[in-house]
Chains A and B, each alone.
Chain A
Amino acid sequence: EIVLTQSPATLSLSPGERATLSCRASQSVSSYLAWYQQKPGQAPRLLIYDASNRATGIPARFSGSGSGTDFTLTISSLEPEDFAVYYCQQRSNQFTFGPGTKVDIK
């Protein structure tokens, strides 16, 4: 099983600041990594797939990068609605998710 590690666990920032979230895989997942945003009481929402492709309707301030074992989700300028929990996810022979990074208001 491929284990995903996310850092930091919590990121405290102000609106307008840049957020940089990290996801590391225990072995290579090529570019098959996705990012999701989850707000309280809601299902996760797909943001980025295949490491760097924005999903339909996702604003350009969200971007993803990386390959192999190290990946980054960047939010260029935080909007009030971006404060949420972010999960990375990979699929090798099975799907696994990272533990999440909470982006909260400083």
Chain B
Amino acid sequence: QLQLQESGSGLVKPSQTLSLTCAVSGGSISSGGYSWSWIRQPPGKGLEWIGYIYHSGSTYYNPSLKSRVTISVDRSKNQFSLKLSSVTAADTAVYYCARASGTGTYFDYWGQGTLVTVSS
């Protein structure tokens, strides 16, 4: 059974960079045909897709966040990471990592989520 687990700093100061990692177990991130995404959810609000990375390393980001987002993959550790720069209070959210299906049209596995608060 595939499992995803987010980790990283739960508190980030305004203007700094948010960094999270998603460890994948029960399967290889290098398996072809899947993309690996970050999705966030501000408290009490809906879901926003941030971006994804393929096993090959190619990426695609939400245009609204593109200038501040970097997603990378570490195949040796079977994990992928998110960096979001110049954060503000509006970036406070639960951050989820997720796998998109082989067809790339839906998310079939999710991590449990990690709350990141932006505050001085």
B96 contacts A43, C-beta separation under 8 Å: yes
Size range of the chain B interface in the assembly: 20 to 34
Question: What is the chain B residue whose CB lies nearest that of A95?
Answer: B49
A34-B105, A49-B101, A50-B106 given; A87·B62 CB < 8 A: no
- Chain B, interface SS category: loop
A49-B105, A89-B106 given; A96·B49 CB < 8 A: yes
Within 8 A of B (CB), among A78-103: 87, 89, 91, 94-100
B104 contacts A91, C-beta separation under 8 Å: yes
**How many residues of A are in contact with the other chain, CB < 8 A?**
22
Please, which residues of chain A bring their CB within 8 A of the CB of B101? 49
A40-84 vs B: 1/0 string, CB under 8 Å?
001111100110000100000000000000000000000000000
Per a CB cutoff under 8 Å, which of A1, A42, A44 touches B47? A44
- State A30–B100 Cα separation when bound (angstroms): 18
B110 contacts A43, C-beta separation under 8 Å: yes
- State A97–B112 Cα separation when bound (angstroms): 18
Please, which residues of chain A bring their CB within 8 A of the CB of B111? 43
B40-81 vs A: 1/0 string, CB under 8 Å?
000000111100000000001011000000000000000000
Please, which residues of chain B bring their CB within 8 A of the CB of A34? 105-107
Within 8 A of A (CB), among B2-27: none
B108 contacts A55, C-beta separation under 8 Å: yes
A97 contacts B105, C-beta separation under 8 Å: no
A94-B63, A97-B48 given; A32·B105 CB < 8 A: yes
Q: Is B117 on the interface with A (CB-CB < 8 A)? A: no
Please, which residues of chain B bring their CB within 8 A of the CB of A55? 108
Please, which residues of chain A bring their CB within 8 A of the CB of B92? none
B interface vs A, CB < 8 Å? 37, 39, 46-49, 60, 62-63, 96, 100-101, 103-108, 110-113
